[in-house]
A and B are shown apart, each in its own frame.
Chain A
Amino acid sequence: DSGVTQTPKHLITATGQRVTLRCSPRSGDLSVYWYQQSLDQGLQFLIQYYNGEERAKGNILERFSAQQFPDLHSELNLSSLELGDSALYFCASSVGSLGTDTQYFGPGTRLTVL
């Protein structure tokens, strides 16, 4: 158990819908990262937050947004969903935001868009 929790574990929805994925980091960790894992793209970095502020953006679509709240949990919002958004979404946390900091991954949320 990494100490990072993600809810829900599975999500099945229809095209055009909007969903929210939730992540609680390990106690004491200030950074939260979101990654998308799909068969065709592999593991792709989406976005990073550090202590409530956006720190870096990767290959995140404009239909996707995220935020980190004062209690440091984070939510990833996916809207106008398309079939191609079906993937495993991982949240990771680390104590700081440096490249040397180990990232601890949650179990993931599997999103299926029908």
Chain B
Amino acid sequence: GDSVTQMEGPVTLSEEAFLTINCTYTATGYPSLFWYVQYPGEGLQLLLKATKADDKGSNKGFEATYRKETTSFHLEKGSVQVSDSAVYFCALSDTGSTLGRLYFGRGTQLTVWP
């Protein structure tokens, strides 16, 4: 079945460091890929998405490129801030059907120190 594997955390970085959170997926169809972020005590917010191979999603300095050949959607940011501290979830949905259900990775806790 469809699934997402993302790197285990926690990840601890200093402010202005480079961030990479790895995400790989398994899917039978042609999924859309998403990164969601969850701040403490809040619901999930969409960070970025990509709906087809080679698409690059970007938002707030974060980027991820849909790589079909490596079944990956790694999240990157060139210079993290303290305010980026949160839990990041990679997710996929199958565009081969009319079902929009999302499959989530386990989440990666990011802590950024000043």
Contact = CB atoms under 8 A, between A and B. Distances in A.
B38 to A, nearest CB: 9
Contact of A99 (B31, B36, B44): B31
Interface string B33-69: 0101000001111100101000000000000000000
A25 to B, nearest CB: 13
Interface stretch (A11-19, A41-49, A67-75): A41-49
A44 B31 CA distance: 17
Nearest to B94: A99
Interface residues of B, number: 27
B107 A90 contact: no
A48 B100 contact: yes
B66 to A, nearest CB: 12
Contact of A105 (B43, B93, B98): B43
B11 to A, nearest CB: 17
Contacts of A43: 89, 102, 104, 107
A105 B44 CA distance: 6
A58 interface: yes
A35 B107 CA distance: 15
A7 B93 CA distance: 27
A45 B101 contact: yes
B43 A2 contact: yes
B25 to A, nearest CB: 13
A90 B42 CA distance: 10
Nearest to A57: B101
**4 A-B pairs with least C-beta separation:** A99-B93, A99-B95, A43-B104, A105-B43
Given A48-B101, A90-B44, 13 more contacts: A2-B45, A31-B100, A33-B101, A44-B104, A56-B99, A58-B101, A90-B43, A99-B93, A99-B99, A100-B93, A104-B46, A105-B43, A106-B43
